Structure 1
């Protein structure tokens, strides 16, 4: 589903965000990427949909190079990749339903989406997506009237309405309280299991990674230093990823 081939990213100031990464993420996996701030987690995740351009190598999505794609082909590949941000990335003055429908814009002309002329099929998809994350009753509320957890659920519903085959979530629970964190992570995990959507999540907390991932990827200074199932992610492994012993460390916190 997602393949990194000798991928490197060097920023203009000379910092190496990624260093010769070779990686394959299979369909239906729930992958959690862990590492210190600045280790390259967001660079790795955002390079998948080209929010960050890589310097060397190639990234394939379902066998097609998103690195080389342009124009219509790039839009088509991106249409299958939903993105969930830490800050929700919603239009706060718009309704919840309108925010979810924004996931359908790649399927229609620019004029049609500006005028909000979405067909009934799209409306049904959006409402079904909201029901799947248990906030259908908020469809006609303004996004800024919702709690942080509810807003993040709207962003998940937007990805579902988009018809995404891949969901990328960049620190999706970093700004949420422990109870809401668990609710949002449960939604992501349930959607992954029920719909088989490949899910790649950056997380700060080790305990959350252990609880929800089927596979953990550890990154340090742009290098993949661990890649394996949760059962192999021992305390020693996490100590190597983070460069320190994590006992009594704030990184063990979270919702569990």
Structure 2
């Protein structure tokens, strides 16, 4: 099974999607399953995991409604208020949806210290009881906080989105590299090779820009804890679906067939219980 472990759908709204700035005008429109389905078929991808953009429970229900209509949406990563006093009740409610696999919070947009919030940590820990996963969306400068956070959620399956968004456009990786190596020592933590083109020079990237970062990810996490994701349609500001996929395919070309299958789908299947 080949899986795109990270993509998004939205009905564009300039208020809800204010993060789509003028430089990203080509994604200021709706992106829905009828547009993604042909791309998955073209590239021989069996299914996808769709991930929240808005931080509302309505967003979670929107994605679940799409998953009911489109079989290729194998899993949903929604949003829930992980600091809410009603969290247990909400998790009980959401466990009825088999396509709902986990949750994410946009930590990259939060102030310093957010990952140390006791209520947030307690909320993430509750996910394990319901077999829900947690997607960790951070920038590279938040990795030290992420390390302290991960130490406190040992029973939760966590995946780092977009290789923690290193500064590929500048080539800086020393602190990112050290912290990613430390993060990889936690066996409950996986890593998505996704979202890389948007951290590079959008109009002037090349394969060689990504290889040092991919070297570190594969060396530390190994082929059993790395999964491919497109970050479509966000990737379109810097690359077509095929171009961003080719970066990963070229990098793993020398791996065994069994290792390629792990990276391109089997790890996502295991992590999200697809």
Higher helix share: 2
Do the two structures share a fold, i.e. TM-score over 0.5? no
- TM-score of the superposition, structure 2-length normalised? 0.39
If each structure's strand is expressed as a fraction of its own residues, which one has the higher value?
1
Pick the structure with greater CA Rg.
Answer: 1
